[in-house]
Amino acid sequence: MKPSQLFASLICALGLIGSVVAQAQTVLKIGYTATNDSHYGTAANVFGEELVKRTNGRYKLQQFPSSALGGEREMVEAVQLGSQDMVITSTGPVGNFVPDTRVFDIPFLFRDYAHARKVLDGPIGNEVLAKFPAKGLVAVTWLENGFRHITNNKQPITGPENLKGMKIRTMENKVHMEAFKALGALPTPMAMNELFTSLQQGTVDGQENPIPVILSNKLYTVQKYLTLDGHVYSPALLLMSESAWGKLSEADKKAFLEAAKIALAANRKRVNDDEVKGIAIIKGAGVRVVDKVDIARFQTAVAPAYTVYAKEFGADRIKKIQDVK
């Protein structure tokens, strides 16, 4: 082979290697408990599309919806260990890893979606996101689960008295359990992937979740009553393992954060849409919906739990969040 031909094929080979290296794709595993056709699936789909666009295909997601990788606590643990790259999770079990998130799980803390979103998108929310690295986790962005409502198979719940002695599944979250105890119920912490069967078999009488989850996980097919009490706002999070985040260049970290912002907007829009169309679907399935609820009576009944919260989080901090306009 002539030296010029040898040189030309060497250049080609190097070029080829170069483009292969450039195009090497990293596939990131992401898990969540809702289906793909949900507020979480919307966030994952949009995040994934934006990642591919902003990194020229060098990063893409492999999704594991419907608890395929286990419950939320299990998945957060796996992300902390680095055996899973990413998770979309409610703050439900996250307080066990990053206690600072628990303050947002206080019932009746937020007036409405605008209030909650303003707090999470602001300095108070950012301050909490900054606590995650110290616990071996990267909080890429807040996401949204929604305001939680109670469903059950025993009786229509129009006031706290109806909850007396009722076995209500809660997330693995001591703030929520404190509240349901104060309401007279028997809080039963359980991972999401055990819930549907437990309701079907009557292991628990009821549960509480936002409309998007009641729809996505078809909980309305195994419950007779829904009370729209909106007793607590449920934030969610997009978390990433330190090992996967640590491998990103500064430019790619910026791309991930930009993609996350767009995913958050899509996630919140889906929550809004589910709230609008969800009640009709649930009623259509024969569930009796209680939509006239005297919230003040629930707030009064839960007041003893607030004494515990004030001790744990500080009454000033709680008031600071409540006062955000």
Scanning residues 231 to 270, which ones bind ligand EAX (CB under 6 A)?
A: 234, 236
- Which structure tokens are listed for 173? 């979250």
Q: For residue 26, give every residue at least 6 positions away whose Cβ sits within 8 Å of its Cβ, in sequence order, or none.
A: 58, 59, 60, 247
Q: Is 144 in the site for ligand EAX (CB under 6 A)?
A: no
Scanning residues 280 to 319, which ones bind ligand EAX (CB under 6 A)?
A: none
Helices and strands per DSSP (H, E), number in the chain: 12, 9
Of 187 and 255, the one with the shorter C-beta distance to ligand EAX is 187
* Least distance from ligand EAX to the Cβ atom of residue 233, Å: 12
One residue of 101, 209, 227, 241 binding ligand EAX per CB under 6 A: 209
Of 55 and 227, the one with the shorter C-beta distance to ligand EAX is 227
Binding mask 32-71 for ligand EAX (x = CB under 6 A): -xx-------------------------------------
Which residue type occupies 234?
S
Encode 181-206: b = buried (16+ Cβ within 10 Å), e = exposed: bbbebbbbebbbbebeebbeeeebbb
- Which structure tokens are listed for 168? 């209500």
One residue of 79, 177, 192, 302 binding ligand EAX per CB under 6 A: 192
> Would you call 162 helix, strand, or coil by DSSP?
helix
Scanning residues 104 to 143, which ones bind ligand EAX (CB under 6 A)?
A: none
* Least distance from ligand EAX to the Cβ atom of residue 234, Å: 6
Of 219 and 244, the one with the shorter C-beta distance to ligand EAX is 219
Comparing CA positions, the residue from 273, 317, 324 lying closest to residue 128 is: 317
Which residue type occupies 236?
A
Q: Is 90 in the site for ligand EAX (CB under 6 A)?
A: yes
Task: Please tell me the distance from the alpha carbon of residue 298 to that of residue 52, in angstroms, as a whole number.
Answer: 46
**Site residues, ligand EAX (CB under 6 A):** 33-34, 72, 90, 92, 145, 171, 192, 209, 213, 234, 236
